[in-house]
Amino acid sequence: MINNPPSLPSLGMARLFPHAHCLTDEEKQHLQEGADGKVHVSFNGIFTPPEEAAVYAEQHAKDKNNPLYFVVFPQADSAISELLVAGYQKFLENNFWGLTNSTQEAKDLMYSYGLTGLELYGHSRGTMTLGNMLNSFKQEGVHGIANENTTINLYGPAFNVLVAAGLLDYVSDGKQTIVGFDGNRYDFVSRIIGGNGYTYETIPAGSNWWKEWWRVVMNPISSHTCLGDAGYKCRYDYGSSHREQFPLSKSWSKK
């Protein structure tokens, strides 16, 4: 998160990127609801500058005409540092070792809007931000701050979807027991790091596991990025992804 607050940029109408601006503390207390009565906020992944975070906020939103907000997790000054930050979030981020500013922002949003209407979107490392936020509440014994009006959606998640659903169940006192999940079978971030199943498995003709893993690392068009309402090139190579609600029934076999 940007060091000097405010650090929550607003997209307003999602297509109007030039109108994005950093919110004041006062504005953060009065975020605009969408047509569904919820505040919509996105959390970005690793190696994602603010302009790309804005694209993902729109790409993952169900209704692009809603006011959309995103919390920027600033890029580190080197690739190694960026990976170290991701490693910290994966293995060490908790109430004892300390929360990142982005995770604290997520907690503040839950406190403010969890009962009135909140929809959170996380991609890649951003899902660890959301998962660690929920886990922090559980460590503190805090619950009853969310309900059926709180929705969490995870795209290419580096956090485990079923664990997230269990934590949301706790935080909401059982009023919200599922999370949205969108992930490709060949995305190693979701499958290996997150330990997740998958919702679809389309890849380019002639591709395979190893090619797809390489694309995730080196290519901006990959099974990890082509999730939600992605652009034409993504749809041509990977088809249309689809989000499902987890946990599913025991009959689901893609796990």
| Sheet containing 9-13, strands listed edge to edge, beginning at the edge strand earlier in sequence | 21-22, 9-13, 67-71, 39-43, 118-123, 150-155, 179-182, 244-246
- Whether the per-residue pLDDT at 1 is higher than 50: the answer is no
Residues in the chain: 255
- In a domain, residue 102? The reply is yes
Quote the DSSP letter at residue 94: B
Tokens at 42, concatenated: 């996105």
- In a domain, residue 253? The reply is no
- In a domain, residue 251? The reply is no
pLDDT digit string, tens, across residues 30-76? 999 999 999 999 999 999 998 899 999 999 998 989 999 999 898 88
pLDDT digit string, tens, across residues 116-174? 999 999 999 999 999 999 999 999 999 999 999 999 999 999 999 999 999 999 999 99
Q: Which domain holds residue 17?
A: 9-246
Q: In whole angstroms, what is the distance from residue 74 CA to residue 65 CA?
A: 26
- In a domain, residue 154? The reply is yes
Q: In whole angstroms, what is the distance from residue 232 CA to residue 194 CA?
A: 27
How confident is the model over 176-194, as a mean pLDDT? 98
Looking at the 3D structure of the chain, how many domains does it have? 1
pLDDT digit string, tens, across residues 73-106? 988 889 999 999 999 999 999 999 999 999 999 9
Cα separations (Å) of 14 from 17, 20, 193?
7, 9, 30
Residue 99: the pLDDT is: 98
Tell me if 194 sits within 8 A of 130, measured CB to CB. Answer: no
What are the b/e assignments for 19-38, b being 16+ CB within 10 Å? ebeebeeeebeebeebeeeb
| Residues 6 or more apart in contact with residue 41 via CB below 8 angstroms | 8, 31, 68, 69, 70, 71, 109, 118, 119, 120, 121
Q: What are phi and psi of 166, to 5 degrees?
A: -65, -40
- In a domain, residue 173? The reply is yes
- In a domain, residue 212? The reply is yes
**Residue ranges in 92-231 assigned as alpha helix (H):** 101-113, 125-140, 161-171, 188, 209-218
- In a domain, residue 58? The reply is yes
Q: In whole angstroms, what is the distance from residue 126 CA to residue 146 CA?
A: 20
Half-sphere exposure of 144 (CA within 13 A, CB side): 2
| Residues 6 or more apart in contact with residue 173 via CB below 8 angstroms | 143, 144, 147
Please provide the DSSP assignment of 10-23 as one string: EEEETT-GGG-EEP
Residue 21: the pLDDT is: 78
- In a domain, residue 195? The reply is yes
